Amino acid sequence: MTSPSGVELACMRRKHLRQVLVIERASYPRPWSRGLFLTELANRATRGYWVGLEGAEGGGEGPVLGYGGVMMAGDEGHVTNLAVDPERRGLGIATRLLLQLTVDALTRGARRMTLEVRVSNERAIRLYARFGYLPVGRRKNYYPDSKEDAIIMTVPEVVSQEYLEKLQTIAASVPGPTIVEQPTTRMPG
């Protein structure tokens, strides 16, 4: 496991899907299909999907290290998925992606964030707790493949100076450069 020289965060595009699907299949027992990702990508007004690419040179051409998505429902940003190449886990890629998903949601008017996570996914639960996510409920038998419960986690207020300082502290703790591609066009919402 080697640390990337830098990570570029870019809006997920069709050209990334082949690599995204490889990571998706390695990460989840019931992976999303290409068609589902295409449907999500078509909903740019309420969805933000990002990939982490190796190298911080710009241009979005490096290998996909991980990806994540956020869906807006009113003033709530809901993290739909977050996954990193199994060989690249533990290098801060998920942290970078979750930071970007949060910024994306804030830009779209989020006041709070939510997600579901498998009760057995201790590593992800620790990551989310670092971002201030608190367990607020449980969905029984949420995951059809194993009938495993999901923990519902939320950050009740993301629009505060205290939370923005938390995000800055987390961002400063990630080693190496991160470049964020700025979308050329942003759908309203």
Domains (range + CATH), the chain? 7-180 (3.40.630.30)
Q: Are 113 and 155 in contact (CB under 8 A)?
A: yes
Q: What's the whole-model pTM score?
A: 0.91
The length of the chain is 189
Q: Which of 76, 116, 148, 181 is catalytic?
A: 116
92-151 pLDDT, tens digit each: 999 999 999 999 999 999 999 999 999 999 999 999 999 999 999 999 998 888 889 999
**Tokens coding 116:** 């579901």
How far apart CA 21 and CA 31 sit, in angstroms, is 8
Ramachandran area for residue 54 (φ above 0: left; ψ -120 to 50: alpha; else beta) = beta
Q: Is 54 known to be catalytic? A: no
Amino acid at the residue 49: Y
Q: Is 143 known to be catalytic? A: no
Q: Are 146 and 129 in contact (CB under 8 A)?
A: no
157-189 pLDDT, tens digit each: 999 999 999 999 999 999 888 888 866 444 333
In which residue are the tokens 């990630």 written?
Answer: 174
Q: Which of 49, 67, 128, 163 is catalytic?
A: 128
